[in-house]
Structure 1
Amino acid sequence: MTANTFNHAADYLDAAREMADTGRPTLARLLAEEASARTADPKNAARILAEFPGGTLRSES
């Protein structure tokens, strides 16, 4: 078995889509938020968040 690694925004986005496809919308949104945060282009970051609607679920301290 190969462990998943998350080194790039695309890794988080792939995982977000997988979670959405398997009925885990909250986890999908969290992963999408991380993918968005790791995306340099603001338009692409906004597009990622639009694909997974909802308010932020991250807690910033």
Structure 2
Amino acid sequence: MDLSNFNHPADYIDAAREMVASGRPTLARLLAEEAADRTTDPAEADRIRNEFSGNSLRQED
């Protein structure tokens, strides 16, 4: 997967859905979090995060 071609949140969401379909839920969640971060509408960002189950896997400093 070449992330350099990802320019929009939808690119990350599509990839996240592919990861779910291929049995990679952890990677799907990380891609969904990135999509949510790139979304300007907070309600849409919440919807994206809720679509992909699991807790955040990011480590905060």
Is the shorter-chain TM-score for this pair beyond 0.5, marking a shared fold?
yes
Aligned residues: 59
**C-alpha distance in 1 between matches for 2:35 and 2:26:** 14
TM (norm. structure 1) is 0.88
Consecutive unaligned residues of structure 2, counting only runs of 5 or more, are: none
Q: Which protein has the bigger helix share?
A: 2
Which stretches of structure 1, 4 residues or longer, exceed 2 Å deviation after superposition? none
> If the length of structure 2 is used for normalisation, what is the TM-score?
0.88
Q: CA RMSD in A?
A: 1.2
Give % identity.
64
Q: Return 5+ residue gaps in structure 1 as ranges.
A: none
